[in-house]
């Protein structure tokens, strides 16, 4: 196969890479080697990986090259380099969860997610850095993952390395987890498309749970269409998004969650960019109407008793005996989780069901809801539960509680610091296709993915 050199190759879409493979203009081996070289170049600045599987990736790439040379028909992810958050079990390959407790843990079975990617022919070349156990804070043994838009800032939490690496052109996609916003917030900080699918759209078998009632698995990519390709490959039920990208949202009814835009804690440039994006959606033909959801004001009363009690439950074999091995922030939230009463937990579950019903009812009137993803651009350090300067989960965690699919796409860059800001699309349960269509139309109209200069 002919070789195409240059960094631009690493920022192609998944479809574009697949077309080059099928035309035999570029080899999966060359793309994988370029990906690993890019990783080596940037890893000291980004700290986006815990484990790199270079040898395994090259072997997979050689097998993929042979398949393409034979002209065999394969799926869309075949031969495409993809990384995964280091929270998914990988048989025979270290799975640390960014923790000291599991620093040498090697699972005896694969997660559903890893198996699905291998079956798709994706080349899994690394496992990404993350907040410890996807929870309180980064463990000092692993260190903060930095943002390719500004390496003096965080890439967000908890799917930190997933977002940072894809934004920087190290792989074409990554898979993360989202319990309160852990796919969407880092995607917002890094200018990516991040999807939290409908609850249980992707099997959680072989995932170490933070909160089994709120955990979701989903893809982080540079374009909406790439995101749809990855979801097709990892969804537990067969989906096909080939025909949904019409390029039109005319007559689509969009509900704007105004309280999440106009609240006091939101960064003024986030508000400006999101309002501009909503205006753009209207100009594209959507019917845009403000909607109020009063229950959002008390969402933490539902979410945190569930998240914190289930979080502590999943650590009961280590905590408090190994409390000193956790990062300080993780210790704090685990300790608090053990204090949640059974009555509070059950009451929160009941309120969770009632909240989900109210969100479902909104979709009798709207096709999509929109709001900002984060109240601010990327911060200098990782967000944490101890930081009460703003509620960084307020715009994301409601849809973990309800189980609706929610996707973030870049609304643009701040004028003051050239940092990405996320616009979030929320849809009916199991109707990812609708939010994909809306977000794709918006992304195309606003110039597509914008690369950091790193």
**CA–CA separation, 16 and 19 (whole Å):** 5
Cα dist from 210 to 179, 308, 320, whole Å: 7, 9, 17
For residue 281 the two structure tokens come to 């959606």
Q: Kindly compute the dihedral angle of the four CA atoms of residues 375, 351, 438, 120, in this order, to the nearest 10 degrees.
A: 100
Tell me the C-alpha distance between 353 and 274, whole Å. Answer: 30
Rounded Cα gap, residues 268 and 376, in angstroms: 9
Sheet architecture: strand order including 216-221: 49-52, 123-128, 81-85, 173-178, 216-221, 193-196, 406-413, 420-426, 368-372, 253-257, 287-291
Q: Is 182 noted as a catalytic residue in this protein? A: yes
Q: Which of 120, 164, 174, 182 is the catalytic position?
A: 182
Q: Which of 12, 85, 127, 352 is catalytic?
A: 85
Annotation says 158 is catalytic = yes
Q: Of 27, 83, 137, 158, which is the active-site residue?
A: 158
Task: Identify the CA nearest to 113 among candidates 167, 32, 176.
Answer: 176
Q: With contact defined as beta carbons under 8 Å apart, do 110 and 153 qualify?
A: no
- Residues sharing a CB contact under 8 Å with residue 21, sequence separation 6 or more, in sequence order: 27, 28, 64, 68, 78, 79
Query: Which run of H or E residues covers position 172?
Result: none
Three-state SS at 53: coil
- What span, in angstroms and rounded, lies between the C-alpha atoms of 318 and 272? 46
Q: Provide the 8-state DSSP code for 88.
A: B
Q: Which residues are catalytic?
A: 85, 158, 182
């Amino acid at each position: 196969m002919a070789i195409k050199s240059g960094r631009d190759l690493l920022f192609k879409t998944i479809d574009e890479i697949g077309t080059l493979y099928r035309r035999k203009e570029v080899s999966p081996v060359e793309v994988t080697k370029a990906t690993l070289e890019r990783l080596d170049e940037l890893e000291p600045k980004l700290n986006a990986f815990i484990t790199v599987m270079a040898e395994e990736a090259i072997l997979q790439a050689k097998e993929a090259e042979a398949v393409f040379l034979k002209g065999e028909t394969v799926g869309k992810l075949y031969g495409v380099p993809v990384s995964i958050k280091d929270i998914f079990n990988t048989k025979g390959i270290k799975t640390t969860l960014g923790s000291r407790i599991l620093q040498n843990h090697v699972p005896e079975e694969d997660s559903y997610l890893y198996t699905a990617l291998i079956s798709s022919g994706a080349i899994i070349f690394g496992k990404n850095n993350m907040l410890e156990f996807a929870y309180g804070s980064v463990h000092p043994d692993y260190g903060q993952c930095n943002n390719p838009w500004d390496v003096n800032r965080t890439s967000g939490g908890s799917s930190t390395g997933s977002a940072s690496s894809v934004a920087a052109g190290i792989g074409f996609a990554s898979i993360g987890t989202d319990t309160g916003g852990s796919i969407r917030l880092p995607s917002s900080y890094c200018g990516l498309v991040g999807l939290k699918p409908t609850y249980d759209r992707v099997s959680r078998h072989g995932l170490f749970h933070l909160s089994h009632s709120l955990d979701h698995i989903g893809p982080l990519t540079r374009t909406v269409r790439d995101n749809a390709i990855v979801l097709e490959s990892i969804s537990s039920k067969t989906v096909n998004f080939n025909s949904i990208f019409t390029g039109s949202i005319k007559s689509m009814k969009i509900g704007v969650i105004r309280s999440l835009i106009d609240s006091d804690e939101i960064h003024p440039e986030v508000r400006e960019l999101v309002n501009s994006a909503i205006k753009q959606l209207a100009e594209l033909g959507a019917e845009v109407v403000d909607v109020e959801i009063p229950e959002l004001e008390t969402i933490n009363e539902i979410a945190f008793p569930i998240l914190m009690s289930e979080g502590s439950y999943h650590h009961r074999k280590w905590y408090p005996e190994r409390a000193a091995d956790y990062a300080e922030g993780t210790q704090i939230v685990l300790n608090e989780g053990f204090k949640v009463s059974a009555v509070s937990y059950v009451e929160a579950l009941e309120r969770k069901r009632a909240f989900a019903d109210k969100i479902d009812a909104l979709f009798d009137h709207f096709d999509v809801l929109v709001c900002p993803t984060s109240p601010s651009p990327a911060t200098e350090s990782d967000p944490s539960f101890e930081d009460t300067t703003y509620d960084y989960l307020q715009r994301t965690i409601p849809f973990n509680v309800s189980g609706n699919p929610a996707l973030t796409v870049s609304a643009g860059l701040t004028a003051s610091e050239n940092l990405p800001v996320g616009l979030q699309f929320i849809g009916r349960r199991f109707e990812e296709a609708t939010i994909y269509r809306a977000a794709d139309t918006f992304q195309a109209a606003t110039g597509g993915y914008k690369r950091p200069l790193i």
